[in-house]
Amino acid sequence: MIMGMLGALVAASAFASSGGGHSEEITFMGDWFPRLVNFAIISAVLVYFLRKPTRDFFKNRSAEIERSLRESQEARDKALAALAEMERKFRDLEGETKSMVAEAQARGERDRQALVAEGRKVAADIQAQVASGIEIETAKAKADLAVEASLLAVDLAEGRIKSSITKQDHERIVKEYISRVGGRG
């Protein structure tokens, strides 16, 4: 911007001092010296007035670039710290995952052992119930067999008695029964 203004001033002064375009013989003292003096004056004025703004511009620009670099470095440091934190969390997550898997396996083994123990207890209870049921059924069958045997013995005895009793014995037994019950005989 400053250089553009400086170039425009130089071109304007050169055009103004040239006399509008007519051609004359050019001499150093008559033609070039006034132009050099004009150029020197304009340059000195520009340097005098634009020195501080130019210096401030470049100083501010340097400070802005330095601030941008510092912010970039801070952002880079933050990104690296975040990356390190994420990597640490990832490692911790791997360890935590491994410990959770180991814990789940241990819990599963404990549950399996508890289920096996419970199954054995249930099987023992069922066996005890079956043994008790067998004893009860055996006792019932023995009692049924004893009743059946006694009934068969009674039938057998009755059959023997019937076959060995005669008609006279039968009449005598009936008379004795009637006399005992209270009848006449």
Give the pLDDT confidence of 19-54 residue by residue, as tens digits: 544 555 656 677 788 888 899 999 999 989 988 888
Residue 176, classed as helix, strand or coil, is helix
Instruction: Tell me the two tokens of residue 155.
Output: 């039938």
Least confident residue range of 19-33, 58-72, 132-146: 19-33
In a domain, 24, yes or no: no
In a domain, 115, yes or no: yes
Q: Which domain holds residue 119?
A: 2-15+30-167+170-181
Residue ranges in the chain assigned as alpha helix (H): 2-17, 33-164, 167-181
Q: Rg for the chain (alpha carbons), in Å?
A: 67
Instruction: Tell me the two tokens of residue 162.
Output: 């019937």
With a cut of 80, say whether residue 77 has pLDDT above it: yes
Number of domains in the chain: 1
What number is the average pLDDT over the span 15-22?
Answer: 53
Task: Give the distance from CA 135 to its chain's centroid.
Answer: 57
User: In the structure, what pLDDT confidence band is assigned to residue 185 with cuts at 50, 70 and 90?
Assistant: very low
Q: What is the mean pLDDT of the chain?
A: 83
pLDDT at 153: 85
In a domain, 22, yes or no: no
With a cut of 90, say whether residue 10 has pLDDT above it: no
In a domain, 48, yes or no: yes
Alpha carbon distance 149, 141 (integer Å): 12
User: In the structure, what pLDDT confidence band is assigned to residue 94 with cuts at 50, 70 and 90?
Assistant: confident
Q: Which position has the higher pLDDT, 59 or 21?
A: 59
Q: What are phi and psi of 183, to 5 degrees?
A: -105, -175
With a cut of 50, say whether residue 16 has pLDDT above it: yes
The 10s digit of each residue's pLDDT in 96-115 is: 888 889 999 999 999 999 99
Contact 45, 6 (CB under 8 A): no
In a domain, 35, yes or no: yes
In a domain, 21, yes or no: no
